[in-house]
Chain A
Amino acid sequence: MSDELVVAGEKIGSRLILGTGGAPSMQVIDEVIAASGAALCTVSMRRVDPTTTGSVLDVLGRHGVRVLPNTAGCRTAREAILTAQLARDALETDWVKLEVVADDDTLLPDGLELVDAAERLVADGFKVFPYTNDDPILARRLQRAGCVAVMPLGAPIGSGLGILNPHNIELIVAEAEVPVVLDAGVGTASDAAFAMELGCDAVLLASSVTRAQDPAMMAASMAAAVTAGRLARRAGRIAKREHARASSPTTGMAVL
């Protein structure tokens, strides 16, 4: 049965979205993309370094992976909008992962700047994927602004703390009319599976794979976890109970 992720009317071949940040080399990026089966990967926009050889775009191109430029490092709506416009011009895509963070210590989204930037980017024709707090009301505002997905954090970027407020993620999922992507905080495979069990449509992660001791093996693990979590969500888990419930027949017992 087809169970493809569809965002902005386009099919994405995997529910695991990979960030390319934190990898020690292009070779590692190449290996983790192959191992993860990711079909969508984020990149950042930075000043050209003429001495650099090899581009992350070449690696993504070889794998046929779609590029999702981000606005990482931007602190204001103005900076994020300009960065998104530059990414659109350079990469010929109107998709953007919108990040507007408040400071370097938390890397938490600045909700006011985020909604402002989202509204103006949508008006400018962008397909906006906002990286947001695990706040159901902020997620609602971003949807109303016309974002094509909402991407709540599980925990701060790079922290590997997992999903700190699963209840809020469930609330966001419950009222979402666009795909929900758990973005940031994943530390290991069980976090990714949990996100999918909570009803997220996809998981976006980077550090947990690129900074693992064996990045390619962790990428394969994350892919399996996302698949497992998705299947479990669709299969419908049993209700939790206070007491045991026998799974073996309780009738026909021999008198011994």
Chain B
Amino acid sequence: MHVTINGEGHEIDDGATLADLVTEHLPSARGVAAAVDGEVAPRGTWAGVALREGQAIELLTAVQGG
């Protein structure tokens, strides 16, 4: 199925969870937060968040700033 990750389109396996996606796309999940369709998906829930066709996932972390 097709989803958007940080603004870019990606094909991911049907039935993939948010935890699967993070493992697949990032070298480390340390210090990372996720939002799905504009709502925070708390880190502890990722394994239970089944992704659906067309969803927009944002994966954020701390960078220098402020």
Contacts and interface: CB of A to CB of B under 8 A. Distances in A.
Interface of A: 19-23, 26, 29, 42-48, 50, 55-57, 67-70, 72, 82, 85-87, 89-91, 97, 99, 206
B31 A20 contact: no
A47 B60 CA distance: 4
Nearest to A204: B66
Contacts of B42: 89
Contacts of B40: 82, 85-86, 89
A55 B42 CA distance: 21
A46 B33 CA distance: 10
A44 B65 contact: yes
Interface residues of B, number: 23
A70 B33 contact: no
A46 B60 contact: yes
Interface of B: 6-7, 25-27, 31-35, 38, 40, 42-43, 58-66
Contacts of B38: 82
Contacts of B64: 20-23, 26, 29, 43-44, 56
B22 to A, nearest CB: 9
B65 A90 contact: no
A48 B65 contact: no
Contact of A47 (B7, B43, B65): B7
Nearest to B63: A46
A56 B66 contact: no
B31 A50 contact: no
B18 to A, nearest CB: 12
A67 B26 contact: no
Contact of B31 (A47, A57, A206): A57
Contacts of A68: 66
B43 A89 contact: yes
Contact of A90 (B7, B25, B32): B32
